[in-house]
Amino acid sequence: MINQVRESALKLDDDRQRVIFDSIHAGKAQFYVVKDNIAHAKLYLLESDSPSRRRVIVGSANLSERAFSGKQPETLLVFDDDDLAWEHYSREYDAVKETAADRVDLPIDVQSREISFADTPLLQDPGPTVFQPPPPDELTVPQVVHKVEELTLPVERIVSPHVTRENGRQVITPKVKAEIKRMRWRKGEQEDEATRPTSLTIHPESRHVSLSGQTLSLVADDDGFKRSAAAIVQYFDNYELGFVGDVPRLQRDYFTFMSWLYISPFICDFRARAVVSGGNVFHYPSFAVIYGKSNCGKTSLVDTLIASMFGHPSTVQKDSFTRRTLRGLQQNYKRFPVVFDDITRRRFNDHGLDIVKDENLPPVNEHPCFVVSMNAEPQSFQDEVVKRCLMIYANTSLPTHDYALADKLHTSVEEIRNQLTTDFYLRYLNRVMEKLDSAPMPYDILRMSSETICDLLGEAIGANLPEWSHPVSWDQYAGGRYERSARRLAALLAPENYRKLVGDGEQGWTLHANTVTVWERADAFGRTSLKSEIPDFLYDDTSSVDDTFVLYRVQTEDFLNRKVSPPGFKWPWNR
């Protein structure tokens, strides 16, 4: 609660923020936690000296803008300058405060440091703490469940054997509290900076940014800015030194991903506005999937870009890619991108589809985007995933047999990372927030982000930019999402695969008036039919069964940009 008050105050960019923090440091604003009694009543005692006024508010409303705005049903009773009401409810307040409350002291630097779990009264109280677990039906708010999940996962194995249970109540003894403190201290000493959980908070209006609870200055060093820009260009140019395949396409696709990743901390705001205003939430994907061959540089790309943003790579262990943990990460990382590396297709389908397809807003204002890299083929994803995620397919790779080249590029990447600072991204954040002042809900986030990156690269380098570093639009990206699916469908609908009868052969197609019937069996490697990866508006779902599906002929011809007709003589108007 205290951290929420702190975050709300940081959003204010006027004198109200100063009044709140000054009141806290002067001891005028104090925070207490109910310990032994349950106090569900909402009671507000308001008093001013000049003019002399008193107001008592009681009822169901929490102290929030939503509760007092009239946007949700609430019951409130108000007593203005009523001495009897003031005395009665003051006694109720004092009774709760004096007999059942622990005070929580805030840190001196409240603007830059959050309250840690170890500073709460639960662990500061030297005596035992008894609590009554709520019934399961009361634990229905995902935020509550997942907020404690981050603590209970590592604590449970050590602490649970020492927690005693009496008549349905659980007792946390002083020994358990000491063990928790020691465990958290050990974790802090042993934690690897590159993999530590972290969070990012941004208040665009006040330009306040904090990383893991520490205020982040947005002042960029000019020399660091130029070095980082040169390092980014060198990193992308490295793909031309030995990668095999369509290297320019790879560079452009990876630059598209960079444009999305850089603006991803703001996507939670865009999605919220889209939901409220009826906008197209698909234009603001909260998931990015980079997939393709195992040696196409996916992991290195993500680590390098995250390091350019926050100073170090950050990857979540892949065994945490579960339904429950994904929801917990969504509600605890705030705006910091959550990165998973080397996730299998099965794990993604089993645990990731629910959150990908969920277009409801999480119960927190700030929530992160997810990056998933995986070794997968282009036919691995359903259409409902493709249209909701930023999909980057890498068909270009580094030859595995050329060890000298691999070592050379690895050394080059390490040297590039040593040149990287966060100054380029700090300058980017300033520039993007200036643009968001006039366009808080941009229609094309890729264009806004890529134009900003290109402008900054031009300012830093002062020379002609490489071909890959040109602005990219959402329409350009979206137009290429189904390019590989279209090529595969076109190959399946080749004249040599035409059959007069449905089911004749392992694969084929035939015509029936305004529809095209297509069948394709799973191959020896278990790869299933094309149906799952083509846009769902192309096929008639009611007439499609298993690996045989029926396409609408006109829509299919528009999708392929060519006529679908049987082999043989073609009249000029059918060519």
pLDDT given for residue 132 in this prediction: 52
pLDDT given for residue 264 in this prediction: 97
The C-alpha R_g of the chain, in whole angstroms, comes to: 29
Please give the torsion angle defined by the CA atoms of residues 294, 384, 523 and 374, in that order, rounded to the nearest 10 degrees.
10
Please compute the mean of the pLDDT values over residues 481-491 and round it to a whole number: 79
**pLDDT for residue 452 is more than 80:** yes
Tokens of 372: 């998933």
Compute the distance between CA of residue 517 and CA of residue 351 in angstroms, rounded to an integer. Answer: 33
Is the separation of the CB atoms in 210 and 201 below 8 Å? yes
What percentage of the chain carries pLDDT values higher than 90?
30
Compute the distance between CA of residue 111 and CA of residue 118 in angstroms, rounded to an integer. Answer: 19
Long-range contacts of 563-571 (CB under 8 A, 24+ apart): 564/493, 564/511, 564/516, 565/511, 566/495, 566/498, 566/511, 567/495, 567/496, 567/498
Is the separation of the CB atoms in 230 and 461 below 8 Å? yes
Of residues 561 and 23, more confidence is placed in: 561
Of residues 475 and 133, more confidence is placed in: 475
**pLDDT for residue 103 is more than 70:** no
Over residues 248-281, the pLDDT tens digits come to 999 999 999 999 999 999 999 999 999 988 889 9
Tokens of 462: 């002062």
Tokens of 167: 């008549």
pLDDT given for residue 150 in this prediction: 42
**pLDDT for residue 84 is more than 70:** yes
